[in-house]
Structure 1
Amino acid sequence: MTETLVPTTTAPHVGRPIDRVDGPAKTTGSATFAAEFPFPGLAHASLVHAEVGRARITAIDTAQAEAVTGVITVLTHLNAPTLRPAPKFSVLDLSTIVSGTAVNYLNTDQVHWNGQPVAVVVAETYESARHAARLVGLTYEELPATVDFAAAESSAKPQKSNPMMGGGGAKGDAEAALAQAPVTVDQRYTTPELSHNALEPHATIAAWDGDKLTVYESSQSLPFMRRHLAKRLDLPEDAIRLVAPFVGGGFGGKGNVWAGTILAVLAARAAGRPVRLSLTREAVYRTVGGRTRSTQRVALGAEPGGALAAIIHTSVTRTSAVGGFPEAVTNASGHLYAAPNILLKQHVVEMDLLPNAPMRAPGEAIGTFALESAVDELAAELGLDPIDVRLRNDTDRDPLSGTPFSHRRLREAFALGAERFGWSARTPQPGSMREGRWLVGYGVAAAYHPIMMLAANLTVRLAADGTVIVRCGFHEMGMGGATVQAQIAADALGVPFEAVRVDYGDTDLPTGPMAGGSMQTASVAASLLEACAKIKTSLLALARRSGSPLRGSRADAVEARDGGLYLVGHPDQGESYASILSRAGRSHVEVSIGSDGLGSKLKFMTRFIRDQRRWVRAASGAQFCEVRVDADTGEIRLARWLGAFDIGRVANLKTATSQMRGGIVMGMGMALSEETLVDPRHGRIVNPGLAEYHIPVHADVPPIDVHFLDDPDPTMPLGLLGAGEVSITGVAAAVANAVYHATGRRVRDLPITLDKLL
């Protein structure tokens, strides 16, 4: 997967394939992750999980556990510190979205799913804690539980909408148009439950100092987590500090507050000493929500020439009786293709299972599998090229609302991808391409993910020596966030990249946005650019008062470069930062952006609603894959992959390419191997670990070629859109479509396993 990365930008730093600043620390092992911070007197905790579904605990026997050498305490609902209930969702307080569940851990005798933590053991060593946890005896009164999705699907109810998540909608009479269409496809597609498998399992170290709490946490949502903990513990926010300098992957699973975090905090308070709680892989599966299961209907009606007359996309997903994340499964179907008649409906069924949670491109990842598979089926029915059908229904306005797209380059992405992939070599007939015993198939699908921004507070300090410090409590999960923000600051202030230091990953810093929804980079960039502009204004004001060559110059006639301010078009007329600050008797200039008050929240909501009315913003792309299928055994091998994407301006070519490849690999797992198996009798996850839950390994991943249009969105800071999630959308459909082209077998139920081809 090697290639020469060639930037298209002429900017000094933004867009360049600059190595990530945290690379040396991570590759040498000096990076400190959440579970690795040293504390004197550190104790260790281990969870005790319920082995039944819905139930009430009638008795707990902790005697054997307490007798284990080194055990400090065993916490249950009979002796745990008091915890306030989790807050309910409110659009006026976005921190409420991180409540993983509504369960008041160890403050209730109720069991809501098989695997719920019902006790925690604290001991001197990790081994003692794990051993003692197995000795805790529990007696239950079992209660009726809904754990079989297939049986519960018929009881699904319409999914409630909110301003932060769309998906439903209607235009015209889609059912009537479908009935009258000359060519139709009407199929059912299913996707399974999926579990999070970040390289770094969830981990927490909690340390109390009186009523002050410090938490080292593998989190992608530090500010929201702090507010959540403050509410649960009845503490002021400034009494809590969360630290996460490095996060070993998140993908949505580390955006919520789960049992491990809460119980580590309670255990540390009860034990009177710092406590580390590192989840095992099995504990992650049983306490951290993953992607919901889904059943979907996609029906398309078209004219013989390929123009769509009707799009119908309905879904049933599941949440939990104690929480869960309703997903916008049909969202892409309302934006990708023009049709005079559209019907989108989403339904959910509440179950007695671990609440589901966001997982890379929640909704769109599984929704595009169904939609883009159906478009491929329609192309086959029409006898047209699958790309031609998509392009004939492309649009520059949102099909449902008529709102213009702020940026729409899907057609160009398909053209670039088709050329680079060699799509013209594809012969249309399924099974018509072969190399020896391998049947060869080409598949294609569209990628789509909406874009939005959150508020970001930060400070920027420019010193007389030309060094810059950016301080913002955002997150680094491997995407190169600190590197990109340093590039942006370097260009905005006209200093070398090496002169910029970015501080992040700590709630003692100005409040940053959560790393979710592909919005962290643009959100921070917006505030960073504003701060840098104010610094330049402040410096120009200082220069005007001090006899500078810039005296009398307008702000729009001055640019930052070469470590100072200079007149645009006049490289020799200006002054260095050192000179300006020295003459003014200043060692530095600093600017802060943002606030955490009610005014800031109202400003964000006002901007969010206004922008929704003005534009539809989205990243998009085209996914191309080649598969090889053994004609005798049905073995599937991915031979090569190419993705062509429009993510607006590319901030760092190297890190963006890495992001896209990571999402594509995650989509490959969804397509071919990943599935969380839930026992339909007892609700227990039966494959909770990497030995039984199969994610792609190196041998499964082909060469992945990534290309960008690198075309800025004029409505976004620096033209940035988002790169984190669009890359997984369409992947599963591209694989399924390639398998069909190779074999003639249409697989509509993920994952695509051998039994579905034989």
Structure 2
Amino acid sequence: MTVHFKQDKPDKANRLDDMKQGVLGKALPRVEGLAKVTGTAPYAAEYPIADCAEGVLVTSTITRGEVRSIDKDAAFAMPGVIAVIDDPLLTTRAAQGTADEAPQQEPATVCYWGQPIALVVAETFEQARHAAKHLKIEYREQEGAPLDPQAVEPEEQEDETVRQGDLAHAMAEAAHAVDVTYTTKGHASAAMEPHAAIAEWDGKTLTVHASLQMLNYNISELADSLDMDEENIRLISRFVGGGFGSKLGVSEETVAASIAAKQLERPVRVVMSRQQVFQCIMRRSETTQRLRLCVDSDGKLTGFGHQALVSNLPGETFAEPVLQSSHFLYGGENRELLLEVARIHQMTAGSVRAPGEAVGMPALEGAMDVLAEKAGIDPVELRLKNIPEKDPEEGLPFSSHKLAECLKQGAEAFGWDHGPRQPRHTQEGEWWVGTGMASAARVHNIAEAKARVTLKADGSALVETDMTDIGTGTYTVVAQLAGEMLGLPPEKVLVDLGDTRHPRGPGSGGSWGASSIGSAVYVACLALREELADRIGIEESELELSDGKASAGESLTDLLDGKDLAREGHYEPGDIEDDFTASGFGAFFAQVRVNRFTGETRVDRMLGAFGFGRVLNHKTARSQCLGGITWSIGVALTEALEFDPTDGHLVNCDLAEYHVPVHRDVPDLDVIMVEERDPAASPIQAKGIGELGMCGGAAAIANAIYNACGARIFDYPMTPDRVLAAMPD
């Protein structure tokens, strides 16, 4: 039995506050934690499947052109080689960011250096790798592939364009104005687990173990790629070693393994090397951002301008949504926002770790610090003055708004020194010491979701959905939510995720996972509670469940009478999405020290205060915040994709040369969770947290660098050479 709930208005019942089990929100450890730390949790490449052949992808060594021929005979002469597959599907992504007109026939079209063009299958991985490395390919190369986004005519993204009032006039008449340009480098998702898939074909059904974030979409993508019916495909992704956007869609290793398994009629495993993951999965676009901000004599914004240039391959539909939170974060009646895309022949740009705000907010919040200094206003006070009462462009009310509370609580906990700020106020030996802050914002998304909850005759519960856990704590949060609703300790709730045989969940991405699947579980559990209440003869609102018993004394096992009881919850966002602007908000505070001789920056301490609705698990939520702040340190100081300007190939394509923050880069971090109930965000009053923690944090570090040593830098990452060059004499 399926129960459908479409949310058209705020759910102010807050029923979860009335439950009696007392486990929701608690800092419970991961239910799958033991399996992970003991190595018994199987990831995509680790399933013990008999007679499994090994496949290795071959990638292009030209920037643009066609594959004329592949010397398969030479490959077959090598030991162990079973097949060389050059299906045109391997040259396109069946994932987020798929080109509108994907090539479907020979010759295979090459659009960027490092694009997968063939698969070599052999008996062992070493044999396949050797043959792939020596595979001879002849190309017809096309010259003049554009690689520099500054050198091509960009395309305006009209749906992002906003022009209200007269920004130029406001800038000219303002008491204080700033016009600054920031740049950010491209970023890699850099998930710990590389992309991997094992495909099996039994003549009718294709079963694929893969590392994927969104099985509900991935099964459709794979079916479309292979021209198969979805009912003949089963995807399994029970454990994912990180995704950060790179595994949102089906990518080449999954398609390649599937094609090979069908052709060879035996299982095939394809695991990308670290270099291949970096070179061909997806990148975050570099950005160039112009900020024009102006205030009156009281520090109120009268003008707000944010223009951004990003890049992607020709034909791709994705554009890094740099302006996403700029549309509503601050007021200013004269507004101009513009997003442009330059078409270049580098690897596909797509969603990477908080797409949009992760690079848009550091530029905006850096410009706000410049404005605060010019206007002689404390940076915290400037932001407090400019929090809008409603969406400044759409006129919609906010579903909830905790920016002011985050700013105030964060400043107090950090020990923020309010008032006029001067660089180089503190020196300790050869180090300048300074502090900085920034606001945080990340749009709240929610998606359609389904989950089946079964009360077993023995008094335990089973939750089934194809929702994934990419390391964010989904297994645990779902167990807590079902346990709270049904009066069971989490250890009596079995959560079965990552299998397309189950009802379709929302997938993990966009920070919508917990609130979306949680809402589906809530709907299913509410229906179960109504059935149990009916059996007792009371209203559901009167039913109290705790430790497997009802308040009237009946046990769940007695009420079930030896039979399982199941309900499928189907949650769907409705008209409410058009009635409110929904976002998580927060504030970052950082203290850094900058070496006066080398320009080296060290983060001494950092604090984030975040408001994101109901906290479902204090430990997993805090962990997400800590991870986001750590990514902020990377954006500020170390992370940058470097492409060769001659052919567009990625130069730093591994974790040795692409510098993510390591333990020594990360100090003790503090997190404040400003808990709230947002009835318009979801039936469980929760919003996303997975990405909010990195949206703006880099600017707090940049602003602290300026406060420490006087180096105002407009290019991320702020490496020692840049800091040194910007230091005043």
Give TM class, smaller chain.
over 0.9
The equivalences for 1:401-480 within 5 A come to 401-424=394-417, 428-480=421-473
Q: Give the TM-score, by structure 2 length.
A: 0.93
Name the CA distance, whole Å, in 2 between partners of 1:710 and 1:321: 44
Bigger CA drift: 137-146 or 199-208?
Answer: 137-146
Given that 1:334 and 1:342 are in contact with CA atoms closer than 8 Å, whether structure 2 keeps it comes out as no
Paired position in structure 2 for 1:142: 141
Counterpart selection for 1:744 from 710, 716, 725: 710
Look up the equivalent residue of 2:563 and give its one-letter code. Answer: S
Counterpart selection for 1:13 from 23, 26, 29: 23
Given that 1:629 and 1:637 are in contact with CA atoms closer than 8 Å, whether structure 2 keeps it comes out as yes
Given that 2:91 and 2:109 are in contact with CA atoms closer than 8 Å, whether structure 1 keeps it comes out as no
Paired position in structure 1 for 2:155: 157
Name the CA distance, whole Å, in 1 between partners of 2:277 and 2:688: 28
Instruction: Please say if 1:256 is aligned against 2:258.
Output: no
Name the CA distance, whole Å, in 2 between partners of 1:512 and 1:451: 17
Given that 2:97 and 2:318 are in contact with CA atoms closer than 8 Å, whether structure 1 keeps it comes out as no
Bigger CA drift: 99-108 or 181-190?
Answer: 99-108
**SS, match of residue 223 in structure 1:** helix
Counterpart selection for 2:689 from 723, 726, 736: 723
Deviation of 1:109 (Å)? 2.0
Bigger CA drift: 422-431 or 215-224?
Answer: 422-431
Instruction: Please say if 1:587 is aligned against 2:563.
Output: yes
Instruction: Please say if 1:564 is aligned against 2:563.
Output: no
Name the CA distance, whole Å, in 2 between partners of 1:344 and 1:114: 33
Paired position in structure 2 for 1:491: 484
Paired position in structure 1 for 2:355: 362
Look up the equivalent residue of 1:258 and give its one-letter code. Answer: S
Given that 1:99 and 1:228 are in contact with CA atoms closer than 8 Å, whether structure 2 keeps it comes out as no
Counterpart selection for 2:48 from 38, 50, 62: 38
Distance 1:218 1:102, change over 3 A: farther
Paired position in structure 1 for 2:555: 576
Paired position in structure 2 for 1:74: 84
Name the CA distance, whole Å, in 2 between partners of 1:145 and 1:727: 41
Distance 1:108 1:735, change over 3 A: farther
Name the CA distance, whole Å, in 2 between partners of 1:727 and 1:426: 26
Paired position in structure 2 for 1:90: none
Instruction: Please say if 1:23 is aligned against 2:33.
Output: yes
Name the CA distance, whole Å, in 2 between partners of 1:678 and 1:260: 23
Deviation of 1:149 (Å)? 2.3
Look up the equivalent residue of 1:199 and give its one-letter code. Answer: M
Deviation of 1:26 (Å)? 0.7
State the number of aligned residues: 706
Paired position in structure 2 for 1:682: 647
Q: Give the TM-score, by structure 1 length.
A: 0.90
Superposed CA deviations along residues 252-296 of structure 1, whole A, max 9, x for unmatched, are: 111022212111111222222111111111100121002011111
Bigger CA drift: 267-276 or 375-384?
Answer: 267-276
Counterpart selection for 1:642 from 597, 602, 607: 607
Given that 1:53 and 1:113 are in contact with CA atoms closer than 8 Å, whether structure 2 keeps it comes out as yes
Given that 2:182 and 2:290 are in contact with CA atoms closer than 8 Å, whether structure 1 keeps it comes out as yes
Instruction: Please say if 1:757 is aligned against 2:723.
Output: yes
Instruction: Please say if 1:668 is aligned against 2:633.
Output: yes
Look up the equivalent residue of 1:753 and give its one-letter code. Answer: T
Look up the equivalent residue of 1:481 and give its one-letter code. Answer: T
**SS, match of residue 360 in structure 1:** coil
Deviation of 1:372 (Å)? 0.4
Name the CA distance, whole Å, in 1 between partners of 2:71 and 2:47: 33
Name the CA distance, whole Å, in 1 between partners of 2:46 and 2:408: 48
Deviation of 1:113 (Å)? 0.6
Name the CA distance, whole Å, in 2 between partners of 1:737 and 1:85: 42
Look up the equivalent residue of 1:590 and give its one-letter code. Answer: A
Given that 1:206 and 1:216 are in contact with CA atoms closer than 8 Å, whether structure 2 keeps it comes out as yes
Paired position in structure 1 for 2:3: none
Name the CA distance, whole Å, in 1 between partners of 2:126 and 2:220: 33
Name the CA distance, whole Å, in 2 between partners of 1:671 and 1:108: 43
Look up the equivalent residue of 1:21 and give its one-letter code. Answer: V
Distance 1:494 1:713, change over 3 A: same
Deviation of 1:170 (Å)? 3.0
Paired position in structure 1 for 2:577: 612
**SS, match of residue 718 in structure 1:** coil
Superposed CA deviations along residues 395-414 of structure 1, whole A, max 9, x for unmatched, are: 23111111111110100001
**SS, match of residue 189 in structure 2:** coil
Name the CA distance, whole Å, in 2 between partners of 1:427 and 1:184: 18
% same residue: 39
Look up the equivalent residue of 1:127 and give its one-letter code. Answer: E
Deviation of 1:464 (Å)? 3.5
Paired position in structure 2 for 1:4: none
**SS, match of residue 457 in structure 1:** strand
Name the CA distance, whole Å, in 2 between partners of 1:303 and 1:11: 53
Instruction: Please say if 1:312 is aligned against 2:305.
Output: yes
Look up the equivalent residue of 1:477 and give its one-letter code. Answer: I
Distance 1:587 1:617, change over 3 A: same
Name the CA distance, whole Å, in 1 between partners of 2:521 and 2:563: 21
Look up the equivalent residue of 1:30 and give its one-letter code. Answer: T
Distance 1:688 1:101, change over 3 A: farther
Given that 1:675 and 1:751 are in contact with CA atoms closer than 8 Å, whether structure 2 keeps it comes out as yes
**SS, match of residue 325 in structure 1:** coil
Deviation of 1:714 (Å)? 2.1
Name the CA distance, whole Å, in 2 between partners of 1:278 and 1:36: 11
Distance 1:647 1:255, change over 3 A: same
Paired position in structure 2 for 1:525: 518
Name the CA distance, whole Å, in 1 between partners of 2:120 and 2:275: 17
Paired position in structure 1 for 2:678: 713
Given that 1:100 and 1:357 are in contact with CA atoms closer than 8 Å, whether structure 2 keeps it comes out as no
Superposed CA deviations along residues 694-729 of structure 1, whole A, max 9, x for unmatched, are: 111111111111110111212222221111111110
Name the CA distance, whole Å, in 2 between partners of 1:11 and 1:186: 55
Instruction: Please say if 1:396 is aligned against 2:389.
Output: yes
**SS, match of residue 216 in structure 1:** strand
Counterpart selection for 2:63 from 53, 62, 73: 53
Name the CA distance, whole Å, in 2 between partners of 1:211 and 1:356: 35
Given that 1:99 and 1:257 are in contact with CA atoms closer than 8 Å, whether structure 2 keeps it comes out as no
Instruction: Please say if 1:121 is aligned against 2:146.
Output: no
Paired position in structure 2 for 1:624: 589
Q: Which runs of 5 or more structure 2 residues have no equivalent in the other structure? A: 1-16, 725-729
Given that 1:168 and 1:330 are in contact with CA atoms closer than 8 Å, whether structure 2 keeps it comes out as no
Look up the equivalent residue of 2:517 and give its one-letter code. Answer: V
The equivalences for 1:183-222 within 5 A come to 183-222=176-215
Distance 1:345 1:12, change over 3 A: same
Name the CA distance, whole Å, in 1 between partners of 2:92 and 2:137: 24
Given that 2:149 and 2:344 are in contact with CA atoms closer than 8 Å, whether structure 1 keeps it comes out as no
Given that 2:606 and 2:669 are in contact with CA atoms closer than 8 Å, whether structure 1 keeps it comes out as yes
Name the CA distance, whole Å, in 2 between partners of 1:208 and 1:160: 45
Paired position in structure 2 for 1:292: 285
**SS, match of residue 590 in structure 1:** strand
Name the CA distance, whole Å, in 1 between partners of 2:166 and 2:260: 57
Name the CA distance, whole Å, in 2 between partners of 1:516 and 1:473: 14
Given that 1:147 and 1:681 are in contact with CA atoms closer than 8 Å, whether structure 2 keeps it comes out as no
Counterpart selection for 1:512 from 499, 505, 510: 505
Paired position in structure 2 for 1:696: 661
Look up the equivalent residue of 2:157 and give its one-letter code. Answer: Q
Look up the equivalent residue of 1:347 and give its one-letter code. Answer: E
Given that 1:325 and 1:355 are in contact with CA atoms closer than 8 Å, whether structure 2 keeps it comes out as no
**SS, match of residue 719 in structure 1:** coil
Name the CA distance, whole Å, in 2 between partners of 1:425 and 1:704: 21
Given that 1:396 and 1:408 are in contact with CA atoms closer than 8 Å, whether structure 2 keeps it comes out as no
Distance 1:666 1:559, change over 3 A: same
Deviation of 1:427 (Å)? 6.8
Distance 1:324 1:434, change over 3 A: farther
Given that 1:105 and 1:118 are in contact with CA atoms closer than 8 Å, whether structure 2 keeps it comes out as no
Paired position in structure 2 for 1:244: 237
Instruction: Please say if 1:733 is aligned against 2:690.
Output: no
